[in-house]
């Protein structure tokens, strides 16, 4: 998303990493020294852009034309500095050649001492004019920071040196990339995939699925190997965008120490970050990492690095000799290295772990246990107990008309037991997400609203049944209609709610499973229902027609139903077994996430 107006003009300038306090107009003074945009990662080492001038000598008050050119770039930041003090303040002031694409900024006490862009419009060339001050040093060098994309930038590209007349030129060329180099780290390319050898004996490992091979295209792998004063970390997994892990004091995102490996244009940048709430990670401009390496082959992203166990100079970095919950996430990234929210729930360890303690080889879960229990109980209730209970009440009254259980007709008692079980399971399951979330979830879409509706209908149904009129009462037909419509509505909404719930990040079941299996269950239930309806209709048609005064006397419905008792019992047995198969398939899928 493009930044509007003036904000774009100071976008890179405002994002510098030194502690800042802004002018009232939003332009920053203290950050002028570093010239490093806080986009995370490290600057490029070989410049693609050049700075040229129209002269090599100047006198106080002279104007020198300064040109920045090269491949397309979005942002830039130009200053002039004393060649002998490149870490010192900006020297002189600038005038603009094109106010549409550039603007003047004030660094330190020198007005108009820097120039930056006004928008992210791609540019190939930029021209400005430098005005030499009255107290100019003997030699002045032009420096530029250029941003090609969000994560692709060069810091303090050295430009020509201009000198006052009759002053000897510097004997040694001075390079303005020293500060940029000091904030970067050497990066190498991994020649082969990581290995799980040593997991649990020499290094602390997290693998998902459990015991998977990090060389495979479906394995998420994170390892920590303790050294004397540092820890060597390896991370890999199938991702075209980014992989990240975080150390957290709890199982909630926020206030965490994060490490990201981001694919940008088939190169991997490794960065540290701090997580604040559920907002985008704040990438650090300075990395506390060493010996960075990476590999990107066949959609598997791998990176490794080393960091000290204690980093007192970096307040956002946690000490590695304490216990934390460990998160492992993956997601997409834009061409400029901008990362997006992970599409599914991160892998989270079940407990607190010290990665510098005794080596372990553990797994994790992408779905919290309470959410797994919520899904499993709802599935048992609405796929198993309620479905069988409806079938029994609808088709087995004649079959079990003369069988009794606890003094009542068997079909009624079986129906009531199954429905009360549904109410109990639904009630228990209903409270579990609230316990897990600690309240209402604002990010679950329509699922919680429909779930509350189903819960209300579930409670209302047995309450209404408690006021059921007698069999021959005038209001019995009205009761039957309300009882049927309320139950049917609850069942339909429950299935819709489960469809929506299975795609939520907290219970993100495999796509093929959650779509086809749920569709299969609905088709299975409807098919059995239709089969029993057709069977009942065929029995009714088996009548003995006696034509007497044009009156047709149908064979007794009860007698006709009795002929199909065995068929119905076989169908019910098959239906129950089928429901158990669906239930087992669901529980297996939930256990794998």
484-538: per-residue pLDDT in tens? 899 999 999 998 988 888 777 666 565 555 667 778 888 888 888 888 888 877 7
Percent share of the chain, pLDDT over 90: 28
Whole-number pLDDT of residue 562: 55
Residue 225 is predicted with a pLDDT of: 94
pLDDT at position 20, please?
Answer: 35
pTM: 0.53
Rg (CA), the chain: 36
| Confidence (pLDDT) at 524 | 87
Q: How do beta strands 256-264 and 267-275 pair? A: antiparallel
Average pLDDT across the chain, whole number:
80
Cβ contact 468:479 at 8 Å: yes
pLDDT tens digits along 344-370: 778 888 889 999 999 999 887 777 778
Q: Which CATH architecture has domain 369-592?
A: Up-down Bundle (1.20)
315 vs 361, residue with greater confidence: 361
Q: What does the CA dihedral 38, 39, 40, 45 come to, rounded to 10 degrees?
A: -90
For 130, phi then psi, to 5°, come to: -100, 135
3.30.70, 3.40.50, 2.60.40, 3.30.450: CATH of 188-365:
2.60.40
Q: Does residue 105 contact residue 10 with C-beta atoms inside 8 Å?
A: yes
Report angle CA 526, 529, 535 to the nearest 5 degrees. 140
Looking at residue 578, its pLDDT comes to 83
Residue 41's pLDDT band (cuts 50, 70, 90): low
Q: What residue ranges in 54-203 does DSSP mark as E strands?
A: 63-73, 75-82, 93-96, 102-107, 110-117, 123-131, 139-149, 152-163, 187-189
The CA dihedral of 114, 119, 120, 125, to the nearest 10 degrees, is -60
Alpha-carbon gap, residue 189 to 239, rounded angstroms: 17
Q: Are 178 and 35 in contact (CB under 8 A)?
A: no
pLDDT tens string 191-245: 788 999 999 999 999 998 888 999 888 899 999 999 989 999 999 999 888 999 9
* 6 vs 344: which has the higher pLDDT: 344
3-state secondary structure 62-85: CEEEEEEEEEEECEEEEEEEECCC
Give CA torsion, residues 481, 483, 489, 494, to 10 deg: -160
Find the mean pLDDT for residues 97-123. 87
**DSSP 3-state of 166:** coil
What's the rounded Cα separation, in Å, for the pair 545 and 540? 12
Sign of the torsion angle spanned by Cα atoms 180, 182, 184, 189: positive
Nearest to 114 by CA among 133, 134, 99, 128: 128
Average pLDDT score over residue span 541-559: 46
User: Across 83-92, 368-377, 577-586, which has the greatest mean pLDDT?
Assistant: 83-92
CATH 1.20.120 domain range(s) in the chain? 369-592
Least confident of 360-364, 556-560, 572-576: 556-560
Instruction: Please give the helix or strand (H or E) that residue 522 lies within, else none.
Output: helix 511-541
How would you classify the pairing of strands 267-275 and 242-248? unpaired
Q: Which CATH number fits domain 29-163: 2.60.40.4060, 3.40.50.300, 1.25.40.20, 3.30.565.10?
A: 2.60.40.4060
DSSP one-letter code for 477: H
Residue intervals in the chain for CATH 2.60.40.4060 = 29-163
Please, which residues have CB within 8 angstroms of residue 494's CB and are 6 or more apart in sequence? Answer: 378, 382, 386, 454
H or E, element range at 417: helix 410-437
Beta-carbon neighbour count of residue 124 at 10 Å? 11
């Amino acid at each position: 998303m493009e930044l509007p107006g003036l904000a774009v003009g100071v976008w890179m300038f405002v994002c510098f990493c030194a502690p800042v306090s802004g002018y009232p107009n939003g332009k920053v003074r203290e950050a002028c020294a570093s010239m490093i945009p806080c986009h995370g990662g490290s600057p490029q080492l070989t410049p693609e852009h050049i700075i040229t001038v129209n002269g090599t000598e100047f006198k106080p008050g002279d104007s020198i034309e300064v040109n920045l050119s090269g491949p397309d770039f979005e942002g830039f930041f130009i200053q002039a500095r004393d060649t002998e003090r490149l870490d010192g303040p900006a020297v002189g002031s600038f005038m603009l050649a094109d106010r549409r694409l550039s603007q003047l900024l004030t660094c330190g006490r020198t007005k108009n001492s820097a120039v930056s862009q006004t928008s992210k419009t791609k540019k190939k060339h930029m021209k400005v004019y430098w005005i030499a001050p009255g107290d100019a040093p003997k030699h002045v060098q032009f420096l530029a920071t250029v941003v090609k994309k969000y994560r692709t930038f060069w810091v303090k590209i050295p430009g020509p040196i201009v000198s006052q007349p009759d002053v000897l030129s510097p004997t040694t060329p001075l390079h303005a990339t020293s500060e940029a180099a000091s904030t970067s780290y050497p990066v190498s390319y991994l020649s082969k995939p990581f290995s799980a050898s040593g997991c649990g004996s020499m290094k602390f490992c997290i693998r998902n699925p459990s015991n998977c091979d990090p060389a495979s295209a479906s394995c998420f792998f994170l390892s920590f190997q303790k050294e004397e004063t540092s820890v060597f970390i390896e991370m890999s997994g199938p991702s075209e965008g980014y992989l990240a892990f975080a150390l957290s004091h709890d199982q909630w995102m926020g206030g965490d120490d994060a490490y990201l490996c981001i694919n940008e244009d088939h190169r991997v940048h490794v960065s540290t970050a701090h997580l604040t709430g559920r907002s985008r990670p704040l990438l650090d401009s300075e990395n506390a990492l060493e010996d960075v390496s990476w590999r990107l082959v066949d959609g598997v992203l791998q990176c490794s690095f080393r960091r000290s166990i204690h980093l007192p100079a970096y307040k956002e970095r946690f000490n590695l000799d304490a216990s934390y919950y460990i998160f492992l996430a993956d997601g997409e990234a834009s061409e400029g290295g901008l990362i997006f929210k992970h599409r599914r729930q991160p892998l989270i360890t079940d407990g607190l772990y010290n990665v510098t303690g005794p080596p372990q080889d553990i797994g994790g879960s992408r779905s919290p246990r309470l959410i797994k229990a919520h899904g499993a109980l709802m599935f048992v209730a609405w796929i198993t107990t309620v479905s069988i209970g409806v079938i029994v009440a609808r088709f087995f009254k004649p079959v079990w008309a003369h069988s009794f259980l606890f003094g009542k007709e068997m079909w009624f008692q079986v129906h009531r037991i199954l429905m009360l079980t549904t109410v109990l399971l639904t009630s228990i399951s209903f409270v579990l997400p609230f316990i897990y979330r600690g309240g209402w979830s604002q990010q679950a879409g329509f699922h919680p609203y429909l779930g509350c509706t189903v819960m209300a209908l579930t409670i209302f149904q047995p309450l209404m049944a408690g006021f059921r009129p007698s069999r021959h009462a005038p209001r019995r037909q009205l009761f039957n209609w309300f009882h049927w419509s309320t139950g049917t509505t609850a069942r339909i909404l429950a299935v819709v709610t489960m469809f929506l719930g299975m795609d939520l990040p907290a219970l993100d079941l495999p796509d093929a499973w959650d779509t086809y299996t749920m569709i299969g269950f609905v088709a299975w239930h409807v098919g059995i229902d239709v089969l029993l309806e057709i069977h009942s209709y065929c029995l009714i048609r088996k009548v003995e027609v006696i034509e007497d005064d044009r009156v047709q006397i149908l064979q007794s419905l009860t007698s006709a139903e009795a002929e199909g008792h065995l068929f119905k019992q076989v169908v019910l047995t098959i239906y129950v077994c089928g429901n158990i198969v669906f239930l087992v398939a669901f529980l297996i899928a939930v256990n794998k996430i």
